[in-house]
Structure formats: structure tokens, C-alpha cells
């Protein structure tokens, strides 16, 4: 599986999404369902770390897929923390999340998961 999801802290305060190689929308949908179940199992805010350092390419139709299926962000998600996104992908994501219907998906960018974890632990105060 090219999309993997797991708790990244014993306190269950961070969910780690790892993207490896070329992934499919079926794999993403399965991971998304897992994340929803993880969020349903807790009653406190969590941060999401998306580790894309080993991802090779995005699947087609990303804008239409996100617009149709993934724009709802629960109040339990505090920060979206992106790791390993190159400058072009950051520009794309920033442009997408500047659209009124996608603003809730704004992200913070980091080179390593450790930097994202430090940001999370500080509550965004760096």
C-alpha cells in the first residue's frame, strides 16, 4: 500500500499519513476512512502530518477529487503539517487553498517529520 496511516504519538495527538511512490485514489480513500475512524475514537484535537518525502507523483484529478470528497475538515483537526513537499507542490497547494471552498485546508510546510512534530508540540508557536 502506498498510503499508510498511523498514530504518531502515544497521546494520540498526531496522525501520520505517509505517501510512498505512486499512490491511487482507492488507497487514499481507504486511508481517509481509517483517519475518520481514528478521529471518531478520540475527543480532543489532533494534528495531521503528511509525509510526502517518498512520493513520486500525484494521481490525476486532484482538484476535482478534493473538491468533491475531501473538503470537510472536522474541528478535531488542528493543523495540517506537510513534510517534504517541493516548491511546485507547495505553490499548487497554496493556490488551491486560497479558493474560498478550500481555505480550511491551509497547511504548514516542513523538511522533516521532526520539525513538524516540534511545531505541533509548540501549538504552532515557533
Q: Where are the domains of the chain?
A: 3-121
Q: What is the pLDDT of residue 104?
A: 86
pTM: 0.89
Instruction: Annotate 58-100 with DSSP letters as a single string.
Output: PPS-HHHHHHHHS----TTEEEEEEES--HHHHHHHHHHHTSG
Q: What is the pLDDT of residue 126?
A: 67
Q: Is the pLDDT of residue 105 over 90?
A: no
pLDDT per position as a tens digit, 43-86: 999 999 999 999 988 888 887 887 777 777 778 899 999 999 99
Phi-psi region of 92 (alpha: psi -120 to 50; beta: other; left: phi over 0): alpha
CATH superfamily of 3-121: STAS domain (3.30.750.24)
Q: What is the pLDDT of residue 69?
A: 75
CA atoms within 13 A on the CB side of 70: 17
pLDDT per position as a tens digit, 6-55: 999 999 999 999 999 999 999 999 999 999 999 999 999 999 999 999 99
Distances (CA, A) of 72 to 30, 67, 101, 125: 16, 9, 10, 25
Q: What is the pLDDT of residue 102?
A: 84
Amino acid at each position: 500500500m502506498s498510503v499508510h496511516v498511523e498514530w504518531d504519538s502515544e497521546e494520540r495527538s498526531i496522525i501520520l499519513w505517509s505517501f510512498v511512490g505512486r499512490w491511487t485514489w482507492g488507497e487514499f480513500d481507504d486511508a481517509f476512512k481509517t483517519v475518520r475512524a481514528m478521529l471518531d475514537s478520540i475527543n480532543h484535537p489532533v494534528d495531521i502530518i503528511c509525509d510526502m518525502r517518498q512520493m513520486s507523483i500525484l494521481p490525476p484529478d486532484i482538484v476535482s477529487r478534493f473538491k468533491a470528497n475531501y473538503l470537510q475538515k472536522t474541528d478535531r483537526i488542528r493543523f495540517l503539517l506537510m513534510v517534504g513537499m517541493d516548491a511546485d507542490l507547495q505553490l499548487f497547494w497554496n493556490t488551491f487553498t486560497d479558493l474560498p471552498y478550500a481555505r480550511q485546508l491551509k497547511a504548514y510546510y516542513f523538511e522533516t517529520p521532526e520539525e513538524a512534530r516540534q511545531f505541533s508540540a509548540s501549538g504552532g508557536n515557533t
